[in-house]
Amino acid sequence: MEIKGKVLKLNELIDYQDDSVVSREIIRKDTGTVTLFAFDSGQGLSEHTAPFDAMVQVIEGEAEITISGEKNRVAAGEMIIMPANEPHAVMAVEPFKMLLTMIRS
């Protein structure tokens, strides 16, 4: 489905799957990416680092995002920026959807 130039609801562009993390890349450029994720409750991304800042915008539900050992609860309508080269992890407190924007520098 072509999405460019159309008004769309983010939460309708991706569906949950039982016991899974689902992703859908929305934009991919040399300068960065925008990816939509749907996490079932209890699912997550293990601790890792990235060489550039990454902004998480929670679309629905709630997640626990850990940055350098500090746990943060992030709910629908909220965002957090994970700094470059800082270890971070994502865990679904309940089913949640997020938009991840990474800008390469």
4 within domain boundaries:
no
Number of structural domains in the chain? 1
**Tally of CB atoms within 10 A around 70:** 9
Q: How far apart are CA 17 and CA 34, in angstroms?
A: 20
Q: What is the pLDDT of residue 25?
A: 95
Q: What is the pLDDT of residues 19-62, one digit of tens each?
A: 999 999 999 999 999 999 999 999 999 999 999 899 999 999 99
Domain that holds residue 55: 20-103
9 within domain boundaries:
no
84 within domain boundaries:
yes
Q: What is the pLDDT of residue 105?
A: 74
Q: What is the pLDDT of residue 26?
A: 95
Q: What is the pLDDT of residue 59?
A: 97
41 within domain boundaries:
yes
27 within domain boundaries:
yes
5 within domain boundaries:
no
For the chain, the three-class secondary structure string (H helix, E strand, C coil) is CCCCCCCCCHHHCCCCCCCCEEEEEEEEECCEEEEEEEECCCCEEEEECCCCCEEEEEEECEEEEEECCEEEEEECCCEEEECCCCCEEEEECCCEEEEEEEECC
Q: What is the pLDDT of residue 84?
A: 93
Q: What is the pLDDT of residues 55-84, one digit of tens each?
A: 999 999 999 999 999 999 999 999 999 999
CATH code for the domain of 53: 2.60.120.10
6 within domain boundaries:
no
95 within domain boundaries:
yes
